[in-house]
A and B are shown apart, each in its own frame.
Chain A
């Protein structure tokens, strides 16, 4: 069980984490979500005693992490796949970690096999791809067979097979009764992995609820209809009895809220209006996540249009 209580971290002028309070329970995968710079990694670092909180507390199993002597036996954590020395082999890296915690040499072999790096065990880590380094980091977290596990954006750099493997692993670890916290800035990663979500933005807690409850936020779906006669269709769909709202969207396209695709097709057919396409949009967890964190996104890129323009300029200069 992980407990964070009124946790706050201030770096000079930046308030990275702001009175954060939540708990992570065993037996399920908890997704820790937030946009870039929302304070996820800082929170994990404070949990692991790497950074000191400005105020508040963070405990694992009821006590601050620093009070555990052999950390690997209590908490397994992958913060950054690059937190290792590139000159060492995978085996040497893990062997040193295992030895420091008094773990048998056999564990190194076991976890390397578990993450699928047995064949690369004697290769230097410097030559590893990001996906392989993520696997090595996961292996390090599993070394001490700990009841609590934390992974900071572990999916980055994994190939599709690796992503599926990691999901299955996290679910299997949780099914064994462990506490599993997996951070990410991409909702769709969590959709198939997490049972529970903790969402933060700007260092503050935005949501702490089961995945199903979070999914309910995603109800705001809409339908787009393409038709050669948008004015006529808009009149039909927008009649008072339907309860729908209709808006034009570009050439020959309507956005409809409050009607199903089936009902729209029926109405169009009844009024002999031709439609080319009726499709459902939105309602994804991703969009719900975006809407929830919209106010706290720090590093917003230029609009897509600007990017295209820049690209055109760059092309023109050549």
Chain B
């Protein structure tokens, strides 16, 4: 064994005396490393495949219910059909986002919990760059997952509607907005999850935060206004990306019938961008000064 060691380190011996210059790690090496880390954990694929499966199932159930009930629907109700909210049944869709956020948070929190983060930061001391590479990989993966889910759910909805509810297809007016908003909500949920994970660094608490962020807040936060007798929380509610998504995926003339405070389309897109920027900043800078 010992002669082995000496042989293996012979090349190293020559290098050991040399003065080494500090070079920054290459961005593509860092992203490749994070991709290796992501794909070497089977659980990541299991959770994401489950999330996609649930989404497809929900689309089937929701669209089938609408289509089955269609013959009995009154004329005045016909205009209010919401194909996007059948393809992506909101309450279920936010569950999917909770899952996506949790797996993303776990990619950060899990490293802290296992201690792997120390090994990671010893290998690459530039914490922000490592974290940004991790965020880029996660956002990339989730965009692909978002595309698959969106296209799959949309197709299932169309299949269930076919023959009964007409006028909707891949090229109906507003479809591009629905697709853009839905696909992008995946990486956005991932970034929000990672940001919360980087700030909280605790498994159970970060999962709880996901549930609050994706479930409790979109539905419940505006009701705080009636409790507190204010008009503040409706604005908070409007800047949540979930409510932006709700608005952007509401098709046809129905948007004109929405009563109460709701974001406009530009506001919704701005909230998407703002959440993404804030999340990326939190992911990059939160670990900078922490003891790990």
What is A's interface to B at a CB cutoff of 8 Å? 45, 48-52, 61, 63, 65-75, 77, 79-80, 82-89, 92-93, 95-97, 99-102, 110, 113-114, 116, 140, 145, 147, 165, 168-169, 172-173, 176-178
| Given contact pairs A71-B122, A172-B6, A177-B13, A82 touches B33 in the complex (Cβ within 8 A) | no
**26 A-B pairs, CB-CB below 8 angstroms?**
A45-B291, A48-B125, A49-B125, A61-B20, A68-B125, A70-B23, A71-B123, A80-B115, A82-B115, A83-B114, A84-B115, A87-B41, A92-B36, A96-B34, A96-B36, A99-B36, A100-B32, A100-B33, A100-B34, A101-B25, A101-B29, A101-B123, A113-B8, A114-B9, A172-B9, A176-B9
Q: Which residues of the other chain, A, contact B15 by a CB distance below 8 angstroms?
A: 145, 147
| Given contact pairs A70-B124, A71-B124, A173-B9, A52 touches B36 in the complex (Cβ within 8 A) | no
Closest to B13 in A: A176
Q: Which of B25, B116, B289, B291 contacts A85 (CB 8 A)?
A: B116
Q: Are B122 and A70 in contact (CB under 8 A)?
A: no
Q: Which of B5, B12, B119, B124 has the most CB of A within 10 A?
A: B119
**What's the Cα separation between A126 and B185 when bound, in Å?**
34
What is B's interface to A at a CB cutoff of 8 Å? 1-2, 4-6, 8-9, 11-13, 15-18, 20, 22-26, 29-30, 32-34, 36-37, 40-43, 110-111, 114-126, 130, 289, 291-292
Q: Which residues of the other chain, B, contact A113 by a CB distance below 8 angstroms?
A: 4, 8
Given contacts A66-B126, A93-B40, 9 further A-B contacts (CB under 8 A): A69-B25, A84-B115, A87-B41, A95-B40, A96-B33, A99-B32, A101-B123, A113-B4, A145-B12
Q: Which residues of the other chain, B, contact A95 by a CB distance below 8 angstroms?
A: 36, 40
Q: Which residues of the other chain, A, contact B25 by a CB distance below 8 angstroms?
A: 69-70, 100-102
**What's the Cα separation between A73 and B18 when bound, in Å?**
12
B111 to chain A, nearest CB (A): 7
Q: Are B1 and A67 in contact (CB under 8 A)?
A: no
Q: Are A89 and B291 in contact (CB under 8 A)?
A: no
| B interface majority secondary structure | helix
The 9 closest A-B pairs by CB, nearest first: A100-B33, A92-B40, A83-B115, A69-B24, A176-B13, A99-B33, A96-B36, A51-B291, A145-B12
Q: Are A172 and B26 in contact (CB under 8 A)?
A: no
B79 to chain A, nearest CB (A): 51
B224 to chain A, nearest CB (A): 36
Q: Which of A83, A99, A101, A114 contacts B118 (CB 8 A)?
A: A83
Q: Are B1 and A116 in contact (CB under 8 A)?
A: yes
Q: Which residues of the other chain, A, contact B291 by a CB distance below 8 angstroms?
A: 45, 50-52
A136 to chain B, nearest CB (A): 10
Q: Which residues of the other chain, B, contact A71 by a CB distance below 8 angstroms?
A: 121-125
